[in-house]
Structure 1
Amino acid sequence: MLETGRRLLLACAFATAAAALMPAAHAQGYPRQPIRLIVPFAPGGAVDQTARIIGNTLGEKLGQTLVIDNKPGASGSLGAGDLHRAKPDGYTLMLALDSQAVNHLTVKNLPFDTFKDFDYLSLLVTTPQVLVTRNDLPVKNLDELVAYLKANPKSSYGSAGTASAGHVNSAQLSLAKGLRTEHVPYKGAGPLLTDMLGGHIDYAFAGLSVMLPQIKAGKVRALAVSSPGRSAMLPDVPAMNELIPGFEYPTWIGIVAPPGMPPEVRQKILKAVREAMHDPQVAKRFGENAYDIVNGTPEQFMERVKKDAEVMNDLVKRGIVTSG
């Protein structure tokens, strides 16, 4: 009887020890299968572009294929909802746009808490927003655009989605200059660009990385950039800060995971991201496409999310942006 009891105790002890070792064993074997990278916007925009630049290299650093999954809608919230439902096992990650920080203020009935339900791993890159107009619009600078918009109040501007950096910048311009133009949100900068070239919207703030080829090709006209100073890519285009002091709100893109991943898995991902972002070819491609590499810490990323949320909250309070 005593022997049986002792065997039971030993069995329990072994089971407990095995359970304790399971996360470590899982981490040592990670990753054993392809990793899904959610891009919560349509192809052709800055987030999709970032995924294509880092995808192969990040996959190589992790030792598995990175499968890019475009899930556009609700300013990135549909893809974020998908990430929220995923297991925290390291096999589902997402590239978040700046709208991730503010969707809780503008999108109704989000199924997640922006600040508690995600692990903000690293803010990867920023790119200036550029104010562009249709080529046939009779304006060549910001003052002329403002005068045109006031004379034509039915004019419209586009954004990569409600609460995106483009929406925030346009809202701030409206606040500063007393504009009442119509906002047309898209499921990414790609569809926005298509409609602008088709003459369906008049102007927009969008990521320089996306608009630069169209600017160089003479298909759209650049009036200003939202970076603190002028962009080396467009040295003759003024910074918004020169025209409206304090005007700065760039596009950013970061990598996000569900919370609660095994620590060893999380560290593997962070290490692989850091190595991929400092790969010479990746850095070269980002530079050629007007991105600035940040690759900050999780703590720095969360600080940026909170800062942008405060800016949007102010716009909502002022009635410049409609609350969800």
Structure 2
Amino acid sequence: MSHDPCTNGISRRKAAALMGLATLGLASPAYAQEWPSRAIRIIVPYAPGGIADLVARLIQPGLQESLRQPVVIENKPGASGSLGTEFVARSQPDGYTLLLALAAPQTLNQSIYKVGYDGVKDFAPITLINTNPLVLMAHPDLPVRNVQELIAYAKARPGVLNFAGAGGLTQFSGEIMKYMAGIDMVHVPYRGGAPAVAAAAAGDVQLTFANYSDALTWMKSGRLRPLAITSSKRFAQSPELPTMAESGLPGYEVTGWSGILAPAGTPAAIIDRLAGVLRPLLTSAEMKKRMDTIGAEPGGTSPAEFGQQIAAETVKWADFVQRTGIKVGQ
């Protein structure tokens, strides 16, 4: 990505949005009642089959039923999630184009890549959809059974190990491990989490950091060997898996999440209506069961709470990148 976050295109879009809001009387209730009058699309910035796509399709039926309009899922993968994210940042703030936002494109990418959007300023938060840990997994042919053995193996063979990822947190998890453990591994990029995990299972690469949902089937089948989980606490669905921090890397923590955002300038009444539909859906017992099947925990925060989370994580990752000097190729 080569655009500057303050491009003229985005500035013009913001100006148009402000004019539109003035015309609407700052998102009057009457306007919200008229919305939606046609199909709504949710942009997923990764390839089909990964957790972002799965989560979008979990909330799709409930949204359609409540809003009485079609909800279309549109995948726009590329540039570690930045391509689809920027597309939504540049879209009209009319409530008809939403983003299935993920942690890395929203809070991390602008610290390590050149992107054409600001993950905080160019979006209106609606709600957190889910959180999910990542899992470090090894191909069974790799003679390691835990993180300490992996680190020792890597130190004895600098540059020999490689790991698959889809950019974002799946790559950054490995970069953090390399930094904290003082080892050298090569990242092999894939266009989505599911293809990256499949490549590791096939033996094309030796390791992968994957969202729990992408890892689940391969772990159960024995095609990949789980070594540790990236969250700060053990995960209820796999309590036997130690955390990376427990495995000799104290302070290591990476947690994935997804949520729904709209372009900045979207009328507040539309944001409130979407949040009002999504939050009861996400806190239902039925959704909890569905989230369990993909190794995720449902969210349901308010727009303000979700906005605070995004802002705090953006600061956290920017500080980490600046302190460590970590470089990530795209």
Runs of 5+ consecutive residues of structure 1 not aligned to the other structure: 1-17
TM-score (norm 1): 0.87
Change over 3 Å in CA distance of 1:104–1:151 after alignment to 2? same
Q: Within 1, Cα distance between the matches of 2:204 and 2:78?
A: 20
- 1:156 aligned to 2:162? yes
Partner of 1:9: none
Runs of 5+ consecutive residues of structure 2 not aligned to the other structure: 1-22
**Cα offset, 1:214, TM superposition:** 1.0
Q: Within 2, Cα distance between the matches of 1:112 and 1:105?
A: 12
SS at match of 1:320: coil
Partner of 2:211: 207
Equivalenced residue count is 304
**Cα offset, 1:66, TM superposition:** 1.1
**Cα offset, 1:192, TM superposition:** 0.6
Partner of 1:189: 193
**Cα offset, 1:185, TM superposition:** 2.7
Change over 3 Å in CA distance of 1:308–1:203 after alignment to 2? farther
- 1:301 aligned to 2:306? yes
Partner of 1:256: 261
Partner of 2:54: 49
**Cα offset, 1:21, TM superposition:** 9.8
Q: Within 2, Cα distance between the matches of 1:211 and 1:173?
A: 19
Change over 3 Å in CA distance of 1:312–1:19 after alignment to 2? closer
Q: CA RMSD in A?
A: 2.0
Q: Within 2, Cα distance between the matches of 1:310 and 1:21?
A: 30
Partner of 1:141: 146
Change over 3 Å in CA distance of 1:222–1:20 after alignment to 2? closer
**Cα offset, 1:212, TM superposition:** 1.0
**Stretches of 4+ aligned residues off by more than 6 angstroms:** none
Q: Which amino acid aligns with 1:107?
A: Y
**Cα offset, 1:223, TM superposition:** 0.5
Q: Within 2, Cα distance between the matches of 1:264 and 1:201?
A: 48
Match of 1:72 among 69, 77, 99: 77
Partner of 2:296: 291
Q: State the percentage of identical aligned residues.
A: 36
Partner of 1:30: 35
Partner of 1:104: 110
Report Cα offsets for 1:207-252 as digits up to 9, x if no partner. 1122111101111110011222222222221112212222211111
Report Cα offsets for 1:63-107 as digits up to 9, x if no partner. 222100000001111111110121111111011111121111222
Change over 3 Å in CA distance of 1:306–1:26 after alignment to 2? closer
Match of 1:39 among 28, 35, 44: 44
